[in-house]
Structures are given as C-alpha cells and as structure tokens.
Chains A and B, each alone.
Chain A
C-alpha cells in the first residue's frame, strides 16, 4: 500500500510522514503549527504549499532542517534520500549543521534584510558560502545561474540591491552548496508581479536541473504558474495535495476552492469565517467548524487518484455535490 501523500513513479528526495510541530509559548500554551503532515517532494518538481497567513506553513521549512527553538515539540519522520539516506528528525544537530543544511537541503529565506550581512559585498558573501560548504560552482557562476551579471553585482553591498535582485542573491546563496532540495519561504514577498514571476521562474529552472523545490507561499498568483504539484494547508493541516492543474482548477476539497476564490481574478471573495488561533485548534476538523459544510471527519489524506490526496472534503468541487 502506498503511503499517504506519495507520488508514484517519482521517487522523493524528501519524504515527510506524520510530521507534527508544536511551539511552546511563554504562558504555557502550545501553538499547533503543523499536524500529521504527509507529503513527498520528488526530484525535478516544484511543489507549492499554499495557505493563508497563520495557517502554520511558515514553520515547516525550519522544522525540516532543525532550526526551530529547542522548546519546540516535533514528531514524525522526514526521510532525505541520496547516497547517505537520513531521517532529518532523528539526526543530531551536528549532522544537520555539517552535512545537511546548505549542502543537501538549501533554504531560501523570506527576507533579504536579515539574511545578507550588510558589511560584505555580494561577491564576498557568495565566495565565503562556496568555501564553507565546499561547493563546486564559483560565485560568479552562481550569479549567472540566477540571471545576474557578476560584473555588475559582485561588488555591490546588500543595501544597493533592488528587492528583486536581493531575492535572486538569496537564491544564489542557497545554491552555493549545490543542494538536492530547495526550501523557499515566501520567495516572492514584497516583489511586484513582474519581479515575483521572474523569481518564481528561476526557482522552476532549478527544478528542471533535477532539484526538488518547495515553495511555501501565499502568493498564489506568482507561484501557481510554475508549480507541478500543489498542497493546500489550513489550520495546521494539509487538506489536499496533488497535480497542480487538478488542485488549482478542480479541487476536491472545498477549502482550496475557497482560497482560490479569494484571488482578484477568481471572485475576490474572502475565505468564509475566521481561522481559529493555532493555540486553540479543535480535535476534529477546524476548517469545517469555521466554514460549515459537510465534513467526512476523516482528517488523514486519502487517495482520489494515485498521485492526488484529499482529506475530509466533499468530493470534486462543483461535480454533483
């Protein structure tokens, strides 16, 4: 039997099973950021993880590579494939720091402000990353790979970069160790549509070289066109994951449909109801409690096609129900 969230015929580089993440607050409450996540990231594929702000998706990248605060509670398995297979959740931090982060799993952070040392030039930052990570590709080639001209950019300081250029430098830095997996946290944040589409195109080009790319984003307009697979998260749970065209155009679950309907070109209607705080999620389906509508009560993902998984939704939206 195939595991939930699997993609038959496309061996995953990263295979997430039963991942739950809880973050402790000072007042003793727990933020339930990720609940029972099953998802595969196949090689050569862009996977978009979409959802509203505050659904828990922003915690995922940090959780996968051991960057959460020590008080976080994490359970599940995250299998990293390759010559030296590894369960990232069982690996100790030394292994993650010296063998995984940057080398096998790259992170493209949301904000250039904190990720780029302000006193170093772009060229110096990149060369240092290449040396530290033992990368085989020199800094100038990394810049070319993200469509920047090394002659014009290597001598610039971070504050001299436009928003779009800064995002591309962050991507070049993430590529310094030539990782098999790229995790991107809101990679188009703050960019205008043209620059956002450009950055999304660059990330898709990385998938074409064989990398597994995860875009964690609420910028659906920019990211959906380059996605091969789409996962949709609400109140800490992925409720549907499958081929991009199916999930975007014919979702089975009513939440993805509601989220797409909020886009300006698809109705511009807010998703109904307010999401409950992640400190206070019900044991049953938070979405259908919020929005009403029929819920099968089955919160685990079930297959509707070999590569398409859905929980508790109502059957194909708009098809006779």
Chain B
C-alpha cells in the first residue's frame, strides 16, 4: 500500500492540504476528484514523493519515507511512477520517443535496456517508426503513451496519473484509460487524479473527493 497520513503541504505560506489521509491499494485504480485549485495535484505530487510536506507521513509498502524529491531514498522513489497533464511539457523536445522511454532505465543503470524498451513499446502500442520520432512529430496521445511507458519503465508498484488525459480527445482518453487499467490488472496500484467526475466514475474502482480526505471534513470514506 501507498499511504499518506495527516499530510500538510502547500507553497510557502500558502497551505493547500490541511491534514489529509489517502491510501492507494495495489491492483486498484483509486480516483481522486476535486475542483481546480483544490490541491489534488499537490497531493498527487506528495504521494509520488515529488513535493515536500510540512507534516504527516508517506509510507511505501510499510516503509516510512523521509524527505521528498532527491532527498527521498532512490529505491523508494522508483517504486512510484508519475504521468502529468501535458506530455509536451514533460518531455525534452530534442529526444526521440525511444530516448524518452529509455531515460529511467539509463539513470538506474539497468542492462537489457533495449529489450525493456521493446517490451514497453509493444505494451503501449508504439511502433518502431513512432519510437524514432521527436515529440513534435507525434500526436499528444502518442506522446502521452510514451510518457506512460517511461513512468512504468522500472516496473513501479504504484502509478500516479495527474490529469493525464485532460488535454486529450475522448478516444485517446479511453485508450490511455485502458492501458492504465491493464497496469492495475497486473497489480499496479494507481492513483488517478482528475477534475472530471464522469471520467473517474468510468475509469476508477472507487472515487474519492479531496474535500472528504481532510481530517477536518470528518467524513468516513473508508468503506
């Protein structure tokens, strides 16, 4: 399980999360819904160990994590992959999709990089022709599939999708949702964050409202 307990976080003086609890369970897609600016992206980044918290704990499979970003232990950071809203902003325009996908494999000094890239390409429907293109030569949907492949390249136990389909058309959204469902069916614990309740209702196993996760909302959501 990936859990956040009593998390307080924000930006400088501005606190957006006031003691929030959240659990992401292996093999399930947990939907997290809330309006724009409510802090759900901040919570996504906290549980992905990318954003600092001023109080509270995050545990990964029972191990409590100190710090965030590069201060968090690398082997715990690698247990969690993340996909963002804008695949263009999340990729280097000078890299081919093949390089984008291989990046975490290189950083982790894995051998057999080529074979893993080939596996990922098949899993995420990226042809050889697509792998050799640069981001500006592919569609947003194709680029987001590459970002998804990059996020799971090191076989993380958990995947956080932060508005990962917000800029995509309905068919591409359905494709990404299917691919993520495949990951969950294979055991990955997924946190899917969106402002779109209709999307999460169709995509997730259960949908949580960020408002209800605050301790001061005093609402039981664990059922």
Closest to B166 in A: A190
B182 to chain A, nearest CB (A): 13
Chain A stretch 231-268: residues in CB contact (< 8 A) with chain B = 258-259, 262-265, 268
Closest to A195 in B: B36
| Interfacial chain A residues near B141, Cβ < 8 Å | 53
A54–B174 alpha-carbon span in the complex (Å): 16
User: Is A211 in contact with chain B by the CB < 8 A criterion?
Assistant: no
User: Is A3 in contact with chain B by the CB < 8 A criterion?
Assistant: no
Assess the B172–A53 pair: CB atoms within 8 A. Answer: yes
| Interfacial chain B residues near A141, Cβ < 8 Å | none
Assess the A259–B171 pair: CB atoms within 8 A. Answer: yes
User: Is A189 in contact with chain B by the CB < 8 A criterion?
Assistant: yes
Assess the A263–B167 pair: CB atoms within 8 A. Answer: no
Chain B stretch 163-210: residues in CB contact (< 8 A) with chain A = 166-175, 177-178, 195-199, 201-203
B44 to chain A, nearest CB (A): 15
A191–B139 alpha-carbon span in the complex (Å): 21
| Interfacial chain A residues near B197, Cβ < 8 Å | 193
A262–B174 alpha-carbon span in the complex (Å): 6
Assess the B198–A221 pair: CB atoms within 8 A. Answer: yes
User: Is A194 in contact with chain B by the CB < 8 A criterion?
Assistant: yes
Closest to B36 in A: A192
User: Is A18 in contact with chain B by the CB < 8 A criterion?
Assistant: no
Contact among A192, A221, A269 for B195, CB-based, below 8 A: A192
Q: How many residues of B contact A (CB 8 A)?
A: 26
Chain B stretch 31-88: residues in CB contact (< 8 A) with chain A = 35-37
User: Is B103 in contact with chain A by the CB < 8 A criterion?
Assistant: no
User: Is A163 in contact with chain B by the CB < 8 A criterion?
Assistant: yes
Contact among B36, B178, B203 for A264, CB-based, below 8 A: B203
A36–B55 alpha-carbon span in the complex (Å): 61
Can you offer 23 A-B residue contacts whose CB atoms are under 8 A? A51-B169, A52-B171, A53-B140, A53-B169, A54-B139, A162-B36, A162-B37, A163-B36, A190-B166, A192-B35, A192-B36, A193-B198, A194-B35, A221-B198, A262-B170, A262-B174, A263-B170, A264-B173, A264-B198, A265-B201, A268-B203, A270-B172, A270-B174
Not counting A192-B195, A268-B202, A271-B171, a sample of 16 additional A-B residue pairs whose C-beta atoms are within 8 angstroms of each other reads A52-B170, A52-B171, A53-B140, A54-B139, A190-B167, A262-B174, A263-B170, A264-B170, A264-B174, A264-B196, A264-B198, A264-B202, A265-B201, A268-B174, A268-B203, A270-B171
User: Is A218 in contact with chain B by the CB < 8 A criterion?
Assistant: yes
Interface residues of chain A, those whose CB is within 8 Å of chain B, are 51-54, 162-163, 189-195, 218, 220-221, 258-259, 262-265, 268-271
| Interfacial chain A residues near B172, Cβ < 8 Å | 52-53, 270
Assess the A270–B195 pair: CB atoms within 8 A. Answer: no
Assess the A53–B174 pair: CB atoms within 8 A. Answer: no
Given the known interface contacts A262-B173, A264-B201, the answer about A193 and B36 at a Cβ–Cβ threshold of 8 Å is no
| Interfacial chain A residues near B195, Cβ < 8 Å | 192-193
A248–B174 alpha-carbon span in the complex (Å): 19
Assess the B198–A218 pair: CB atoms within 8 A. Answer: no
Assess the B196–A193 pair: CB atoms within 8 A. Answer: yes
A215–B51 alpha-carbon span in the complex (Å): 38
Assess the A192–B174 pair: CB atoms within 8 A. Answer: no
| Interfacial chain A residues near B196, Cβ < 8 Å | 192-193, 264
| Interfacial chain B residues near A193, Cβ < 8 Å | 195-198
B49 to chain A, nearest CB (A): 26
| Interfacial chain B residues near A195, Cβ < 8 Å | 36
A277 to chain B, nearest CB (A): 9
| Interfacial chain B residues near A54, Cβ < 8 Å | 139
| Interfacial chain A residues near B201, Cβ < 8 Å | 264-265
A258–B166 alpha-carbon span in the complex (Å): 20
A162–B37 alpha-carbon span in the complex (Å): 10
Assess the B178–A270 pair: CB atoms within 8 A. Answer: yes
B166 to chain A, nearest CB (A): 7
A220–B199 alpha-carbon span in the complex (Å): 13
Assess the B198–A52 pair: CB atoms within 8 A. Answer: no
Assess the A264–B199 pair: CB atoms within 8 A. Answer: yes
A195 to chain B, nearest CB (A): 7
A193–B36 alpha-carbon span in the complex (Å): 10
Per-residue contact bits, chain B 133-153, to A (CB 8 Å; 1 contact, 0 not): 000000111000000000000
Contact among B140, B175, B198 for A265, CB-based, below 8 A: B198
A262–B168 alpha-carbon span in the complex (Å): 12
A258–B170 alpha-carbon span in the complex (Å): 10
Looking at A221, A263, A268, A271, which has the most chain B CB atoms within 10 Å of its CB?
A268
Contact among A221, A259, A268 for B177, CB-based, below 8 A: A268
Closest to B165 in A: A264
